[in-house]
Every structure is written in C-alpha cells, then in structure tokens.
Structure 1
Amino acid sequence: MSSSFDKFQKRRLISSYFSVVLSVFLVLFLLGILGLFIINSKKLADDFKEKIAMTVFFKNEANDSILKAFGKELKIAPYARHTVYVTKEQAAKQHTDIIGEDFMTFLGENPLQNSYDIHLKADYVEKDSISKIEMRLRENPMIADIVYDKQLVNLVNDNIKKVSMWILIISGFLTFIAVLLINSSLRLSIHSNRFIIKTMQMVGATKAFIRRPFVMRSVRLGMLGALLAIIALLGVLYYLETKFPDLGILDNKPFIGFVLLGVFGAGVLITWLSTHFATQRFLNLRTDDLY
C-alpha cells in the first residue's frame, strides 16, 4: 500500500515538474518570438524607408564635371544610403520600355534630364529631415527640380508609430500574462508541499532555510524551460533564414543574442520571484488554513 502511494506521489511530483517546465517553455518561447519580431520589424521598416527615392533633376546646362562633383558629394553625405546616377538616355530607354513606344521619334529630341536617385538612410526618412535635405540641395543652381513622394513618407512614418505603439502594448500584456501563468504553475507546485513547509517551520527551521530548496528547484526548472525555449527559437531562426534568405534574419546577431539572453534571464527571474512569494504565503498561513 505504501509502495503504491509512493509511486502515486512520485508521478504527481513529476507531473508537477513537467507542467512548470512546459508553462515556462511556452510562455518564454512566445515572448522570444515577440522580441525577435520587434527587432526584425524595425529592420523591415528601415528597409522599406530606404527604398523611397529622392530624385534630383539637373538642368541641361550641368556638364559632366558638375554631375561628377555632385556624385562625390553624395558619397560622403551622412544622409545618403546609396545613389544611382541616371542619364537622360537611360531615362528615355526606361520610359520607352514602360510605354512600349519610342516617344523621341515624334518629339525629335530627348526632353528628359540627367538625374540622381538618392536613397536616404532610414533615420533621415522623416518629414523635417527630408525638408532640410531638400532645401540644402536646392541651393545648388544647377539643380532643376527635386521630386519624392511626400505623402508616402508621412504615411510610412505614421503607420510605423502606430504599429510600434501596439507592439509595446501587446508586449506588456503578454509579459503580464507570462508572469501570471508561470506564477500559477509554481504556486500549484508549492501547494502540494504546503504540509512539508509547515512541518519544517514547526520544528524550528527558519523561513530562509525552508524557502531555499524550493527556490533552487524552481530556478532549475525555469532554466530548463528557458533553454528549451532558446533551442526552439534558434530552430525558428534557422528555418526562416533557410526559407527566406533575403530577409537577413540572422544579420542582427547582437540583438538576437540579447533577446535569447533575456529569455534565459526572464526564466530564472520569474521562477525565483514566484517561488519566493508562493512559499512566503504558505509560511505565513496558520496551520488550520492549510486545509
């Protein structure tokens, strides 16, 4: 009879450990996915911003030396990500390919102008920053016009701010839920040992002495759940990098390492705090309240 009860207790203990590890793993995995999404959403937003081109058109009086000097100036400009020089002949060919006929046959001349397509760095794709860059460039007397999609710039920045705000709200909500789920699993685990805790307290053991083995056990379970979550996250990263190499998921290794380290630290910290307060609750209960 005693042997059957011991086996039952052992199975219940293993089941309790498994539920703690599983809850820690699932919660930290979801938080890790959210963290990686936040990192890569910033990268994707920056990539999209840098695809918006500012086209600078030059007057026909601008000779090759002026155009080359402007190109050299752009190479050292802090706001330029990369630039593309488009001659009037190249522009005419592009227009011909788009409309399907050679417009110069009936115009008799090429009305297009030499130009530079400037792709700005993401930090400069802001309404005020682009306006300052445009004003500075227009000081060049050889520049005929500067064209870019102002509405698209404003739309992109407004939407990025909205998305970032919602991501922060969702992150905070999921973090709160994560703490509650892990805390509930650990409290259930401690609850099954409440009589042991009270017995140790009645024979004179200090609260710190009673808490220590429970805290250490929970921290080890938290570390195990965090390690499983990290392995799963690395698997997801490897899969995405293999299937979608153009996204450059693994390019931002320092931030990825920071997220993985944060997942591990969260597993340790949450389990430590939850177990500390759970054991403290049972230590403060009266014997009659244990039932």
Structure 2
Amino acid sequence: MASSFEKYNKKRLISSYFSVVLSIFLVLFLLGTLGLFVINSKKITNDFKENIPMSISFKNEANDSLLKAFDVELKNAAFVKEHHYINKDSAVINNADIFGEDFLEFVGVNPVLNSFDVNLRGDYVQADSIKKIEIDFKKNNMISEIIYDKLLVDLVNDNIKKITFWILIISIVLAVIAMLLINSSLRLSIYSHRFTIKTMQMVGATKSFIRKPFIWRSIKLGFIGSSLAVVAILVLVHYVDSLMPDLKIAKDYVSIGIVVLGVFLFGIIITWISTFFATQRFLNLKTDDLY
C-alpha cells in the first residue's frame, strides 16, 4: 500500500517538474525569439529598404568617360550599397519581350537611355536623405532623370515606426505574462510540498535552510527549460538564415550571444525569485491554513 502511494507521489512530482520545465521552455522560447527579432529589426528593415531601387538615366550626349567617372563616384559613395550600369543597347535586347524583336528596326533610333540602377543603404532610405542625394546627383548636367518610388519610401518608413512601437508593447506584455506563468507553475509545484515545509519548520529548521533545496531545484528546472529554449532558438535562427541568407543572422554571433545569455539569466533569476516568495508564503502560513 505504501509502495503504491510512493509511486503515485513520484508520478505527481515528475508531472509537476515536467509542467514547470515546459512552461519555462515555451515562455523563454517566445521571449528569446522576440528578442532576436528586436535586435535584428534594423537589419531586417534595412534589407527591405535596400531593395527599393533608384534609376538614374543619362542623356545621349554623355560619353563613356563620363559614365565611367560616375561609376567610380557611386563605388566611393558611402550611401550606395550596390549599383549596376545598364547599357541602352543591352536594355533593348534583354527586354525584347516588352519592346519586340524588331523594335530598333521599326523605330530606327534607340530611345532608351544609358542608366544606373542604384540601391541605397537602408539608413539613407528616408525622404529627406533621398531628396538630398537626388539634388546632389542633379548637379551633373548629363543626368536626364532620376526615378524612385517616393510613395513606397514614405509608406515603408511609416509602417516601420508603427511596427517598432507595437513590437515594444508586445515585448512588455509577453515579459509580464512570462513572469506570471513561470511564477504560477513554480507556486503550484511548491504547493504540493506545503506539508513538508511546515513539518520541517515545526522541528526547528530555519527558513533559509528550508528554502535552499527548493530554490536549487527550481534553478535546475529553470536551467533545463532555458537550455531547451536556447536549442529551439538556435534551430530557428539557422532555419531563418536558410530562408534569408542575405541577412546573415546565423553569423551575427553578438546578437545570438546576447539573446542566449538573456534567456539563461531570465530563466534562472525568475525561478529563483518566484521560488523564494512561494516558499516564504507557505512558511508564514499557520498550520490550519494549509488545508
């Protein structure tokens, strides 16, 4: 009979530990993923903004030496991520499906202009910055026109501000929920030992002596849950990196290190604090209040 009761208690204990570890894992995985996104948000938004092209067309009077000089100017410009020169003859050939194969024979003169497709660095894809760059480029008399999607630039920047604000709100809410969930799981775990705590107290054990094994056990559970969360986050990082290799998230060891360290510290600190106050609560209860 006693053996059956011990087995029952052991199963309950294992189930309690499992629920605590699972709660810690899920919460820290969500927080870690969100933290990784927040740290890399600038990189992600810049990658999107850097895909907004600027087309710079030159007049027919512009000779090869002038085009080469402009090419060098773009290479040395701090605000240019990458650029490509598009020869007007090549443009017609490469877009034969649009212009038609007999386009040049029909028109007689190639109306397409030599141009450069320029992708600016993300920090410069702002309305005022692009306007300044546009004004500087137009000082070159051989430039015919500069085309870029002004509405898209404004829309992207406005949406980024809104998304950043809501991510901050969600982060705060998730952090609070994480603390409440982990605290609740640990309190339920310690609740099952309330009679043991009170018995130890009645035979003269000090509060710090009683708390110590519970705190160490909770820290171990927190470490296990944090470790599982870190493994899951690293798997997610490599998966995202395979989908978007240009971001090089997997090679950003500093960001990953910050998130991993944050997950471990948060997991251990919150379990320690929750266990301390949970055991303190049962230590201060009267014997009659335990039932």
Number of equivalenced pairs? 291
CA distance in 2, matches of 1:285, 1:141: 86
- Residue 84 to residue 203, structure 1, CA distance change in 2 (3 Å): same
Q: Quote the offset at 1:112 in angstroms.
A: 2.3
SS at match of 1:141: coil
Cα distance change, pair 98–48 in 1 and its aligned pair in 2 (3 A): farther
CA distance in 2, matches of 1:20, 1:152: 47
Identity %: 62
- The answer to whether residue 266 in structure 2 is matched with residue 259 in structure 1 is no
3-state SS of paired residue (1:236): helix
Counterpart-to-counterpart distance in 2, 1:87 and 1:238:
39
Query: Relative to 1, partners in 2 of residues 1:70 and 1:182: Cα closer, same or farther, differing over 3 Å?
Result: same
The residue aligned with 2:22 is: 22
Q: 1:236 to 1:157 in 2, by over 3 A?
A: same
Structure 2 SS opposite 1:15? helix
- C-alpha displacement of 1:95: 4.2
Give the match for residue 121 of structure 1. 121
**CA deviation digits over 1:44-69, x for unaligned, max 9?**
43222111111112222322222211
Q: How far did residue 189 of structure 1 move? A: 0.9
**Separation of aligned partners in 1, 2:27 and 2:43:** 25
- Report the Cα offset of residue 150 of structure 1: 0.5
Q: TM-score, normalised by structure 2?
A: 0.89
Letter in 1 for 2:92: A
Q: Give, in whole Å, the separation in 2 of the partners of 1:277 and 1:267.
A: 16
Displacement of 1:41: 5.4
Partner Cα distance (2:61, 2:71) in 1: 17
Secondary structure of the structure 1 residue equivalent to 2:84: strand
Whether the 8 Å CA contact 2:92–2:99 is kept in 1: the answer is no
Matches within 5 A, 1:81-230: 81-230=81-230
Q: 1:266 to 1:102 in 2, by over 3 A?
A: farther
Partner of 1:34: 34
Counterpart of 1:225 in 2: which secondary structure? helix
Residue 7 of structure 1 is matched in structure 2 by 7
CA–CA separation in structure 2 for the residues paired with 1:193 and 1:252: 44
Q: Cα offset for 1:185?
A: 0.7
CA drift of 1:15 comes to: 1.8
CA RMSD of aligned residues (A): 2.4
Residue 256 of structure 1: how far off its partner (Å): 2.4
The one-letter code matched in structure 2 to 1:149 is D
**Aligned match of 1:281:** 281
Query: Could you say if the C-alpha distance between residues 139 and 239 of structure 1 is closer, same or farther in structure 2, counting changes exceeding 3 Å?
Result: closer
- Higher mean alpha-carbon deviation, 63-72 vs 240-249, is at 240-249
Letter in 2 for 1:199: T
- Structure 1: how far apart are the matches of 2:261 and 2:53? 38
CA deviation after TM superposition for structure 1 residue 107, in Å: 2.6
- 2:128 & 2:64 partners in 1: Cα distance? 31
Q: Which amino acid aligns with 2:257?
A: G
Superposed displacement of residue 219, structure 1? 0.5
Offset of 1:80 from its aligned partner?
A: 0.3
Deviations 1:157-180 (A, max 9, x none): 222222222222222222222221
Q: Which amino acid aligns with 1:171?
A: S
SS, match of residue 141 in structure 2: coil
Q: Equivalents in 2 of 1:244, 1:91: separation in Å?
A: 29
SS at match of 2:57: strand
54-63 vs 120-129, which deviates more? Answer: 54-63
CA–CA distance in structure 1, aligned partners of residues 101 and 219 of structure 2: 72
| SS at structure 2 position matched to 1:263 | helix
Asked if the contact 2:47/2:247 (under 8 Å) is kept, the reply is: no
SS at match of 1:139: coil
Name the CA distance, whole Å, in 1 between partners of 2:243 and 2:94. 33
